[in-house]
Amino acid sequence: MSRTNASPISMTTPGPAGFSSAAPPSPLYQRLVDRFPWYVWWLSPAVIILAAITLFPFFWMIYISFMKVQFAPGATDMFVGWSNWGKMFLDPSVYTGWWLLFKYVATCMVLQMGLGLGIALLLNDIKREGLIVTVIMIPMMVAPVVVGHLFNLLLNSSYGLYAWIFKTLGIYSSGSLLSNPSTALWALVGMDTWEWTPLIVLILLAGLKSVPRDTIEAAHVDGSSPWQVFINVTLPYLRPSLLIAFLLRFMDCMRFIDNNLITTRGGPADATNTLPIYLYFKSFREFNIGMGAVIGFTLLVAIIICALLASNILLKEQKGENHA
Amino acid sequence: MHSSRLKQVRRGMAIGLFVLWTVVPIIFMISSSFKGTGDIFTLPAIGDWWGLVKFLFFFSASLTQFKEIFLHGPFLAHLLHSIAATALSVIISVPVGLAAAYALSRARIPGKKHIYFWVISTRMAPPIAVMVPLYVMWQTFGILHSLVGLVLAYVTFNLPFSIWLMRGFIDAIPSELEEAAYVDGKSRLGAFVDIVFPLIRPGVGATVILCSMFAWNDYLFALILGGGHTKTLPIGIGELASATSILWGQIMAGGLVMIIPMVVLGLIIRKSLVTGLTMGAMRG
């Protein structure tokens, strides 16, 4: 029964939990162990924990989205039907939130992918590549909370180093970039770019190592220009890494709001009030948890659809690679 | 050959600029943490670049900020909370994840695809959306603002991560090795401990470090589900900036204390860092 295994050789070898078939008459424990295939025992702790802290909350969130949740002692939650959902669709801040999130993610992606690709190409195969890579890796390991406070100080108009440099170069001199509604979102993009472009560089550098050197040399010998070599030789080999870097960063830009929450907190004048930030304020400042659940659910579903698409694209890409 | 020389120089300058843009904030942070409170704000006159270099590198160093955070105030308690929450979440996530990863890698499980999808989508979920039901649940079960609640919250992202990552490492080990051990009369657990585990030990190490990093660096869960008597470092550092005064020196010093262990650990596993952060999609 459960003793069958994927490979023929294990038919003659110990069964489920490894007890030999010649073992003495099995006690209750042994019978219990034998009752299920071996993997059930290895897998169930993780499945039980994950179900309790991810699947269960997911359904609870759907339930909450139809309730008015009350935290006052003695007060019970009230069923309100589709009211939270209706309110969400009529709330202009939700639409602005999606739009700002889109602007933020799109700018981050264009900037980081472009910069990351450029730096990776420049760094590939130079002397001291290892040392430089080690140095530029550091921002990735800095806690977001520290990044937030650090840039708050760097951009501070009276004693921030970056504000000083901007003034000296004559680029910008009116206060902190973070406290100006027309620049705050771009300052956040800059912070994210500072922290995470190195990851893109690392991914692309790993990808560049897969480009066969003799093919490039052959193309050069054939008289192709560097640009032609890049388009026709390097880029096809780099495609999977570019895709991975893009999808990974895209998902993370959508999900994480730490920098925003520490520096601008959605402000000034709602200029950085992206959807996840709006969700934070609705749920944990106004304690309108029902509304929070509705917005959270839509955000979660949108991101899971993106993740599904992403993993499908990646799988296809990898299959294509195997055929080639 | 002249033009290729010029290209070299331009290439070097572009790389130099990027390195500068990357390290200047870090240098600024380090130098600010070793200054007396007044010295942090004494930027040179606008346009005085040499003054700026002096401001960053040549200043009278002092340990005032570190003394202040360690000797006065709750920094040490926050540090301990951070260590406890991080360690406990790793102690739960990695062994449980390792067992599950082994089963997923080696067994023919009906509906395996669905388990994969569940694990990966849990990992991809936006923390702020996850927080809404967790907040209500933790409130209901009375573990809001407690260490238990915070650790469980960290397990929501560390467990799927460690399952996914370690499954990749185990997949790379041919199962013939274990089958040979079964012939020798080893049990499944015995074969795992004696043969598979030693081979994936570096992978497990990388998983431990990355999980620690995620928990240690977390701000949002600590902000909403933590707090109370279990404030962790990110929250403690945030509290140094109040509406009335911002203790920049202490924030920078505290931040430095917070990032040093993670930078060191990250550089130790730098070879597997890319593999880890791309969840195994990329071999670094």
Q: Where are the domains of chain B?
A: 2-62, 67-277
pLDDT of residue A9: 41
Question: What pLDDT digit, counting tens, does each position of B112-143 carry?
Answer: 888 888 888 888 889 999 999 999 999 889 89
pLDDT of residue B80: 94
pLDDT of residue B56: 87
pLDDT of residue A293: 93
Reading the block at residue B96, the tokens are 């449980």
Is residue A50 within 8 A of residue B122, CB to CB? The reply is yes
Smallest Cα distance from B276 to chain A, Å:
11
Is residue A120 within 8 A of residue A113, CB to CB? The reply is no
Containing A265, the helix (H) or strand (E) segment is none
User: Rounded to whole angstroms, what are the CA distances from B219 to A316, B225, B249?
Assistant: 36, 10, 20
Test A138 with B26 for CB contact under 8 angstroms: yes
Mean pLDDT over A24-44 rounds to: 81
Residue A148 above 90 pLDDT?
yes
Smallest Cα distance from B73 to chain A, Å:
19
Residue A100 above 50 pLDDT?
yes
Place of tokens 């603002």: B145
pLDDT of residue A81: 83
Test A39 with B258 for CB contact under 8 angstroms: no
Test B283 with A241 for CB contact under 8 angstroms: no
Specify the 3-state DSSP secondary structure of B230: strand
Chain B residues within 8 A of A7 when measuring between CB atoms: 175, 179
Least-confidence region, from A12-16, A101-105, B80-84, B99-103? A12-16
Burial A215-254 (b: 16+ CB within 10 A, else e): ebeebeeeebeeeebeeebbeebbebbbbbbbbbbbbbbb
Smallest Cα distance from B86 to chain A, Å:
14
Q: How many A/B residue pairs have CB atoms within 8 Å?
A: 296
Is residue A321 within 8 A of residue A95, CB to CB? The reply is no
Distance CA B182, CA B272 (A): 31
Is residue B144 within 8 A of residue B135, CB to CB? The reply is yes
Least-confidence region, from A139-148, B155-164, B273-282? B273-282
Chain A residues within 8 A of B115 when measuring between CB atoms: 47
Distance CA A226, CA A222 (A): 11
Three-state SS sequence of A77-134: CEECCCHHHHHHHHCHHHHHHHHHHHHHHHHHHHHHHHHHHHHHHHHCCCCCHHHHHH
User: Rounded to whole angstroms, what are the CA distances from A20 to A10, A30, A40, B103, B178?
Assistant: 12, 11, 19, 20, 16
Test A137 with B160 for CB contact under 8 angstroms: no
Containing B209, the helix (H) or strand (E) segment is helix B197-217
Test A43 with B32 for CB contact under 8 angstroms: no
User: Rounded to whole angstroms, what are the CA distances from B275 to A130, B210, B284?
Assistant: 17, 11, 5
| Model pTM score | 0.88
Phi, psi of B155 (to 5 degrees): -65, -30
Asked whether the bond before A57 is cis by omega within 30 degrees of 0, the reply is no
**Greatest pairwise CA separation for chain B in angstroms:** 78
pLDDT of residue A108: 96
Residue A257 above 70 pLDDT?
yes
Chain A residues within 8 A of B88 when measuring between CB atoms: none
- To test the contact with chain A by mutation, choose from B69, B128, B220 the residue with the greatest count of A C-beta atoms within 10 A, namely B128
pLDDT of residue A8: 41
Test A47 with B24 for CB contact under 8 angstroms: no
Chain B residues within 8 A of A10 when measuring between CB atoms: 179, 182
Question: What pLDDT digit, counting tens, does each position of A186-237 carry?
Answer: 999 999 999 999 999 999 998 998 888 888 888 888 888 888 888 888 888 8
Is residue B210 within 8 A of residue B163, CB to CB? The reply is no
pLDDT of residue A34: 80
Distance CA A270, CA A286 (A): 16
Test B134 with A199 for CB contact under 8 angstroms: no
Report the residue from B139, B152, B265 with minimal CB separation from A53: B152
Test B103 with A42 for CB contact under 8 angstroms: yes
pLDDT of residue A15: 45
DSSP string, A163-206: HHHHHHHTS--SS-GGGSTTTHHHHHHHHHHHHHHHHHHHHHHH
Distance CA A71, CA A39 (A): 42
Smallest Cα distance from A77 to chain B, Å:
11
Reading the block at residue B252, the tokens are 């920078």
Question: What pLDDT digit, counting tens, does each position of B195-253 carry?
Answer: 899 999 999 999 999 999 999 999 999 999 987 788 999 999 988 887 778 888 899 99
Report the residue from B40, B46, B189 with minimal CB separation from A17: B189
CA torsion sign for B173, B179, B182, B184 is: negative
Residue A268 above 80 pLDDT?
yes
Q: Which fold has domain B67-277?
A: MetI-like fold (1.10.3720)
Question: What pLDDT digit, counting tens, does each position of B51-95 carry?
Answer: 888 888 888 888 888 988 898 888 999 999 999 999 999 999 999
Dihedral of CA atoms A93, A255, B248, B257 in degrees, nearest 10, equals: 160
Domains of chain A by range and CATH? Answer: 8-81 (no CATH), 84-323 (1.10.3720.10)
pLDDT of residue A2: 41
